Amino acid sequence: QGPGAMKFQRQHMDSNSRPNPNSNYCDQMMKKRKMTVGACKPLNTFVHEPLKDVEDICIQRNIRCKNGQNNCHKSKSSMRVTDCRLTNGSRYPNCKYHTSPTKRQITVACVGNPYVPVHLDG
Ligand code: ADP
């Protein structure tokens, strides 16, 4: 498993938690998953679906990513996700997040062989 795939799983996969987390979810998870090291990552999404289902998004047809590359793929079905957004008053190292559970189709960028997700594009 390559470093990109491992980083994707660390930053974006939380298969085993319920999609309706408490309001502390993002504060705890952003810290636990090392996204508050050196700086508070401003925006991050966790996906509450099996890894296999997220990896299978790479089989969908290619679409344009936000950075102009064409290695993005959008999920056919909507997925349970939680959006974590840094609060306005939050100052490093005290990273405080808004926790917003929702369901939507997600877009991932995939690379490599095996061709697996390395970036969440939306
Ligand atoms: P995320 O964007 O999922 O929060 P990072 O920005 O930390 O995660 O890492 C994304 C990684 O994916 C980078 O190493 C980047 O080079 C790689 N990557 C591959 N394809 C793309 C793409 N189309 N758009 C953005 N990043 C991509």
Q: Tell me, letter by letter, the H, E, C secondary structure of the chain.
A: CCHHHHHHHHHHECCCCCCCCCCCHHHHHHHHCCCCCCCCCCEEEEECCCHHHHHHHHHCCCECCCCCCCCEEECCCCEEEEEEEECCCCECCECCEEEEEEEECCEEEEECCCCEEEEECC
Mean pLDDT of 94-113: 97
Is residue 30 predicted with pLDDT exceeding 80?
yes
Contacts of 58 (CB under 8 A, 6+ apart): 73, 108, 110, 115, 116, 117
pLDDT at res. 57 = 98
Is residue 58 predicted with pLDDT exceeding 80?
yes
Q: Is 119 one of the catalytic residues? A: yes
Is residue 21 predicted with pLDDT exceeding 90?
no
What mean pLDDT, rounded, does the chain reach?
96
ipTM attached to this prediction? 0.94
Ligand 1 touching residue 110 (CB < 6 A): no
CA 81 to centroid of ligand 1, rounded, Å: 18
Q: How far is residue 64 CA from its own chain's centroid?
A: 18
Of 20-24, 95-99, 104-108, which gets the smallest average pLDDT? Answer: 20-24
Nearest CA to ligand 1 atom 2: 119
The whole-model pTM stands at 0.96
Token reading at 33: 């998953």
